[in-house]
Chains A and B, each alone.
Chain A
Amino acid sequence: MADPVSIALLFPELLGTYGDGGNAAVLAQRLRWRGVPAEVVQVTAGEPVPTSCDVYLMGGGEDGPQSLAVRELRASGALPRALDAGAAVFAVCAGYQILGNEFLGPDGSPHPGLGLLDCSTARGKGARRVGELVVAPDPAVGLPVLTGYENHQGVTTLGSHARPLGRVSVGRGNDAGDGSEGVVGDRVVGTYLHGPALARNPALADLILSWVAGPLDPLDDPEVDALRTERIAAAHSRHANRFWVRKAVR
């Protein structure tokens, strides 16, 4: 039997605030259900980052843990090497910001990122961007509508080489005034979608898997379809807020 597809979950104790570890579970199960062996490798801070994994995942986290994570990743140099060897990277929120050229640290000064995506994150004005996020994917990506939940202070500006993951239908996304959300590079995706993103968007999960495991048979996901329909409708409902508030008070 072939070597299992290995999925590295980077620093779950630092970058796992929003259940993003679920992305690893989703990727591994979707391979196993198709008869492809898969393993999840948890890499905690202080351990060496392996360069031989097939998919690398990072999630959301607070400012302090985020700068700890980027320190470790810059020191190790493992991610660029793994990408050169054909691996894929999927990063959410704080993890997404780390992949860019720079982001704002907890002290308010710019921190260098890993430079794997051509984007930079500054601290947005006003309240955190919190709520349901619906994204119409870039047609070139070839995905159905993306659904998730965003929760970030950062505002991400794309550089001239960056291609957005899609355009925001509901929510804020990159929030840099161009209506974009996320960035797609060569086998690298950064996004503000939590949920976790790959649980709510199995087509995105399968796209990432196909980059490292080749073409995959389709899977039936009736429960995920029902959840997607519910969340997308809730996000679009202009009265969503009032409805939920009324229910909560009662």
Chain B
Amino acid sequence: MDLPVRTRLAVAAGRVVSEVSRRAGTGQGSAVGGRVTLALDPRSLELLAAGHRVGIVSGTNGKTTTTRLLAAALATQGRVTTNSAGANLLYGLVGTFSEAAGSKATADYAALEVDEGLVPRAIEAVHPEVVALLNLSRDQLDRIGEVRMHADKWRRALDAVPDTAVVANADDPLVAWAARGITKVTWVATGQRWRSDAAACPACGSRLRWAPPGATGAAWSCTSCDFARAEPDVVLDGDELVLPGGRRIPVRLELPGWCNRANAAMAATAAAILGVETAEAVGAMAGVGAVAGRYEVVTVGGVKVRLLLAKNPAGWAETLDLIRPAPLPVVVGINARIADGRDPSWLWDVPFERLAGRLVVATGDRGRDLAVRLRYAEVEHRFVDDYREAVRTAGGGDIDLAANYTSFQDVRKALAPTNGSR
């Protein structure tokens, strides 16, 4: 790759810092290295991304998995750079490209997960050919107000790049608001069921009305203005993807549940815009198993623990479907650090009543909030302050463990085989 000297030096410096950070065990390192690179050359991200055919993925839930699926599809056509560790902020993107720039062969494609707030900046810097917008719902309550604001910012950023194709979830009114009026938009009916964050019309504030599901899913429309769900181009119908013209592609994934078929539908539609034939794209996605620890099974003291990530009420609605039936014990880890949102009141928007009939072990920094929630849900539970101990308390040969963002990271560290395995 022909990069200016300044950029090459900035990349080299960033990679050294990343390597030091990684060896010191403070993390994956790419974000801290990216920070150094960007400080030394503010244009580095744009220069590093140049020459790639870029697809970016954003939304509240499913970013990491959808990006992984998109990368799998693109890999059928060429080399792919992707931020597979979920480094989805500015420094993480720079770090991702910097590390890839070290290898001899330059990648042809980039599949990038981008934080909801960074979408405008990412569009400016990496010039994506396609932007996939998955969904928008409440995630961090101490930052509320931002859900609608993100939709507005997405809209303005996309208006400025009319040549960029957009793949939009037609079933999410806030995504529809962001993508309304965009010329190169492909609407995907994912069958999304979460509606609690879109009771009011994003355009005029009146109530939204939801029609019962029809052939292309559940349509919604405003009771007062003309804002309504667009006619979808691509429809996820059960485990089949229906393409324009009616061709049906079976979606068979190793990843479980409706939410991952929806992620695959969005990824396959984005991949098609980048030139991957849909059946081939979906076929490549079938082999994706665990994604950054999600759905991974780890064995701790003879207990097989399946790891699930659920960050917010919308994510939990899906995760409760994935959790295996009672009496299988469940461990739930809840934190409320900056990346989680400091206010875990959202626990009361999750129907934990559905976990009744089994033991639930509450853990994490805010496990006591969860314990109180489970008491009122009349779910048998115990609070345990340590992840390995929580797994032992749950017992049994097989358990599910669901945790929110930083708790999930702590769980992966705590349950890693190298960490005091006995």
Residue positions of A touching B, CB distance < 8 A: 13-14, 16-22, 25-26, 29, 45-46, 62, 64-65, 67-68, 106, 128, 130-131, 149, 151, 194-196, 199-200, 223-224, 226-227, 230, 244-245, 247-248, 250
Contact B368 A62 (CB under 8 A): no
User: Which of B77-85, B324-332, B343-351 forms contacts with chain A?
Assistant: B343-351
Q: Which of B138, B207, B337 contacts A248 (CB 8 A)?
A: B337
Instruction: Tell me the complex Cα distance, A65–B406, Å.
Output: 31
Contact B138 A26 (CB under 8 A): no
B338 close to chain A: CB less than 8 A: yes
Q: Which of A106, A223, A248, A250 contacts B375 (CB 8 A)?
A: A223
B372 close to chain A: CB less than 8 A: yes
Instruction: Tell me the complex Cα distance, A45–B338, Å.
Output: 33
Instruction: Tell me the complex Cα distance, A65–B345, Å.
Output: 19
Instruction: Tell me the complex Cα distance, A230–B336, Å.
Output: 13
Neighbouring A residues of B205 by C-beta, 8 Å: 64-65, 67-68, 106
Neighbouring B residues of A62 by C-beta, 8 Å: 144-145, 148
B383 close to chain A: CB less than 8 A: yes
B288 close to chain A: CB less than 8 A: no
Contact A65 B376 (CB under 8 A): no
Instruction: Tell me the complex Cα distance, A14–B196, Å.
Output: 9
Contact B145 A29 (CB under 8 A): no
Instruction: Tell me the complex Cα distance, A245–B338, Å.
Output: 8
Q: Which residue of B lies closest to A65 (CB)?
A: B200
Contact A21 B368 (CB under 8 A): no
Given contacts A13-B199, A29-B376, A46-B207, contact A22 B145 (CB under 8 A): no
Instruction: Tell me the complex Cα distance, A195–B26, Å.
Output: 33
Contact A196 B345 (CB under 8 A): yes
Given contacts A68-B200, A151-B141, contact A195 B345 (CB under 8 A): yes
Within B201-227, which residues are at the interface with A (CB < 8 Å)?
205-207, 223
Neighbouring A residues of B339 by C-beta, 8 Å: 248
What are 19 residue pairs bridging A and B, where the CB atoms are less than 8 Å apart in the complex? A14-B200, A16-B196, A17-B144, A18-B345, A19-B348, A19-B349, A20-B345, A25-B377, A65-B205, A149-B345, A194-B345, A195-B345, A196-B345, A224-B375, A226-B371, A226-B383, A227-B369, A244-B337, A248-B338
Contact B142 A151 (CB under 8 A): yes
Least Cβ distance of B151 to chain A in Å?
Answer: 13
Contact B142 A130 (CB under 8 A): yes
Neighbouring B residues of A247 by C-beta, 8 Å: 337, 365
Q: Which residue of A lies closest to B204 (CB)?
A: A64
Least Cβ distance of A228 to chain B in Å?
Answer: 9
Q: Which residue of A lies closest to B368 (CB)?
A: A227
Q: Chain B, 34-60, contact with A by CB distance < 8 Å: what is the 0/1 string? A: 000000000000000000000000000
Instruction: Tell me the complex Cα distance, A128–B145, Å.
Output: 11
Contact B345 A45 (CB under 8 A): no
Given contacts A18-B345, A245-B338, contact A64 B141 (CB under 8 A): no
Neighbouring A residues of B22 by C-beta, 8 Å: none
Neighbouring A residues of B347 by C-beta, 8 Å: 19, 22
Neighbouring B residues of A22 by C-beta, 8 Å: 345, 347-349, 373, 376
Q: Which of A13, A199, A244 contacts B373 (CB 8 A)?
A: A199
Neighbouring A residues of B223 by C-beta, 8 Å: 46
Given contacts A22-B348, A62-B148, A224-B372, contact A194 B338 (CB under 8 A): no
Instruction: Tell me the complex Cα distance, A240–B338, Å.
Output: 13
Instruction: Tell me the complex Cα distance, A195–B343, Å.
Output: 8
Neighbouring A residues of B144 by C-beta, 8 Å: 17-18, 62, 151
Least Cβ distance of A92 to chain B in Å?
Answer: 10
Instruction: Tell me the complex Cα distance, A223–B346, Å.
Output: 19
Contact B371 A223 (CB under 8 A): yes
Which of B148, B199, B348, B377 has the most CB atoms of chain A within a 10 A radius of its CB?
B348
Q: Chain B, 127-159, contact with A by CB distance < 8 Å: what is the 0/1 string? A: 000000000001001101100100000000000
Instruction: Tell me the complex Cα distance, A20–B348, Å.
Output: 7
Instruction: Tell me the complex Cα distance, A131–B371, Å.
Output: 21
B23 close to chain A: CB less than 8 A: no
Within B160-205, which residues are at the interface with A (CB < 8 Å)?
196, 199-200, 205
Instruction: Tell me the complex Cα distance, A18–B141, Å.
Output: 7
B342 close to chain A: CB less than 8 A: yes
Instruction: Tell me the complex Cα distance, A67–B25, Å.
Output: 51
Contact B368 A226 (CB under 8 A): yes
Instruction: Tell me the complex Cα distance, A221–B339, Å.
Output: 31
Instruction: Tell me the complex Cα distance, A152–B94, Å.
Output: 35
Neighbouring A residues of B346 by C-beta, 8 Å: 18-19
Q: Which of A13, A26, A29 contacts B196 (CB 8 A)?
A: A13
Q: For the complex of A and B, list the 5 residue pairs with the smallest distance between their C-beta atoms, beginning with the closest.
A: A22-B348, A19-B345, A19-B348, A13-B199, A248-B337
Contact B372 A68 (CB under 8 A): no
